[in-house]
Amino acid sequence: MRKIISALFLIAALVPICIFGQSSFSGSFQSNTNFFVRDSSIGAAGYPQYDNLKIGSDIWFNLNYSNAELGLEAGVRFDAFLNSILRNPTTPSTSAGLGNFYIKKKFKDFTITGGYIYDQIGRGMIYRAYEERTLGIDNALLGGKVEYDYDQKIHLKIFSGVQKNVFSVYKPIISGFNADANLRVGKATFQPGVGIVNRSMDQASMNTLLNAIYATLDSNHRFVPKYNMYAFAFYNTLTVGPLSWYIEGDYKTRDAIYGLDSTGNSVLMNKTGNAIYSSLNISKKGLGAIFFFKRVENFTMRTSANETGIQGLLNFEPPVARQNSLRMPSRYFAPSLEQHELAFGTEVTWTPVKKLSFLFNGSYIRDFLFQKAIMPGHQNFFAEGSVEAHYKPIRELEVELGFQYVLYNRPIYQGDGLNIPAEYKVNAYTPFFEITHKLPKKMSYRIELQYQYVPSDFGQWMYGLFEFNIAPHFSLAASDMWNFKPNTNNVDGIYQVQHHFYSIFASYTHGANRISLNYVKQVAGIVCTGGVCRYEPAFSGVKLSITSTF
């Protein structure tokens, strides 16, 4: 309530300024409502939303103000989560309040911001405050930030605050410094940067952590955790002609984290951490290539070790594996691992002629510390190889044809337990086809056809989609994901008979306003957005979405 009252006073104080300046207001509204329909045959049962609650909604209403003459910006956002499964798909929750507010003032080369702040250092490896609504992530920093720009060549910023936790905050204090430069030497451009982050733990969080150490560790493995953790980042982007190379090195001081021990159990540890991330982009006429490398060791960064999953995350580790947009090729994805990961990736685009292009993609991720005697069969985490051909014989017609192979270590990415035999690694083979055809009068249609053979998971799938559009207003689509030959011995023990997972979709767009209605049956599994993944049970029901900007 105090936050809401404070925001109302902020808006009231801005009203006189709005009358006399070059002022403008903008905003947005978004609501997602789920109507849950129980279907025990696919596992959409046994949860409160299916057995009792039936309806749930997530709502965001945002209002922004800016005055170019005064160099002033401000914003406020109201959030409501009503029987929401956004943050936890198995446990609906209800809360409402002020989800965001900020005010920003520019003084010549200085900019001061107070309130909820979104920002990052480098690629986000040591610090990233961001929002990912589809997974319920909103880890904004509630505090202040001061920035200084010198001649568009040097940018400095310093910030401090506490991390948001829905409508409350985590108590540990987060502080940071970041310096970026933009330098040109001959034909080369250098963009070096350095960042430092400190997390200072509060006494209540420390007491909880100490209790966990003494309750779960024997006397030989107990340790005294530190209140303060420091993380450092050094990075640079070098651009020379068609080549662009980014490299970042990160280090964090000793801190209490959870990690797998030599027997595969998750235990508290007192570890330092380090990470290296690099990408090399080469672009020439008709040919483009990008190469990735990442090495991560004990690089868990949270407000404290008391938080798990997406809770209390301070940083973001960019994944190397490609995030596919098609339904079947996107089923198996490798999010970043915090403890041990050695990853390589590449993506090559080749256009031999104007109407034809090829896309080659590959990635390989493995552990680099555990010995075979400790984790037999689990050194290889993920591998993917795919090839796509895009053919556009005429302006109105585009055809895509491709094939993907994936090796996916379920015990590693889905927490099935390292005692599961290596044969439960997933080998997925997926050919896919897509055609898009533009018709007269701004009409078009799109067809997707996909097949997936996954012998050690759910068996064999067929997927088909038909979409029809009348630009810019109407869109209709229908799809079916059919487990036509299920694996009766899959490790989950579900979907042992044939199932159809239907979807019927319709949307209407008018200007900046859009409404969509979708009847969905969704298979249980890992859902990934923006490189962050989580397991979600099966969904059955209707989804109503309304968005508007002004």
Measured CA to CA, the distance from residue 422 to residue 410 in angstroms comes to 9
Measured CA to CA, the distance from residue 509 to residue 474 in angstroms comes to 7
β partners of residue 85: none
Give mean pLDDT in consecutive 10-residue pieces for the chain, a chain of 550 residues: 51 51 89 96 93 96 95 97 94 96 95 98 97 93 97 95 97 98 95 98 97 94 96 98 97 94 82 97 95 96 92 94 92 91 96 96 86 59 96 96 95 67 79 97 97 93 97 97 90 84 97 97 86 87 97
Backbone angles phi, psi at 179, to 5 degrees: -130, 130
Contact 402, 381 (CB under 8 A): no
Backbone angles phi, psi at 159, to 5 degrees: -145, 160
Under DSSP, is residue 374 helix (H, G, I), strand (E, B) or coil? coil
For residue 472, say if its preceding peptide bond is cis, omega within 30 degrees of 0: yes
Measured CA to CA, the distance from residue 295 to residue 290 in angstroms comes to 17
Contact 334, 341 (CB under 8 A): no
State residue 488's pLDDT score.
Answer: 84
Measured CA to CA, the distance from residue 74 to residue 6 in angstroms comes to 13
Segment holding 75, helix H or strand E = strand 72-84
Residue tagged 């909820």 (tokens): 116
State residue 531's pLDDT score.
Answer: 79
Q: What is the dihedral of CA 203, 206, 210, 211, to 10 degrees?
A: 70
Sign (positive or negative) of CA dihedral 526, 527, 530, 532: negative
Measured CA to CA, the distance from residue 123 to residue 299 in angstroms comes to 14
State residue 310's pLDDT score.
Answer: 85
State residue 491's pLDDT score.
Answer: 72
State residue 373's pLDDT score.
Answer: 40
Measured CA to CA, the distance from residue 405 to residue 428 in angstroms comes to 6
Contact 459, 486 (CB under 8 A): yes
What are the extents of the domains in the chain? Answer: 1-63+502-550
The pTM for the full model equals 0.90
State residue 532's pLDDT score.
Answer: 81
- Segments in 329-455 forming alpha helices (H): 410-413
Residue tagged 């200084």 (tokens): 148
**Would residue 210 be called left, alpha or beta, if left means φ above 0 and alpha means ψ between -120 and 50 degrees?**
alpha
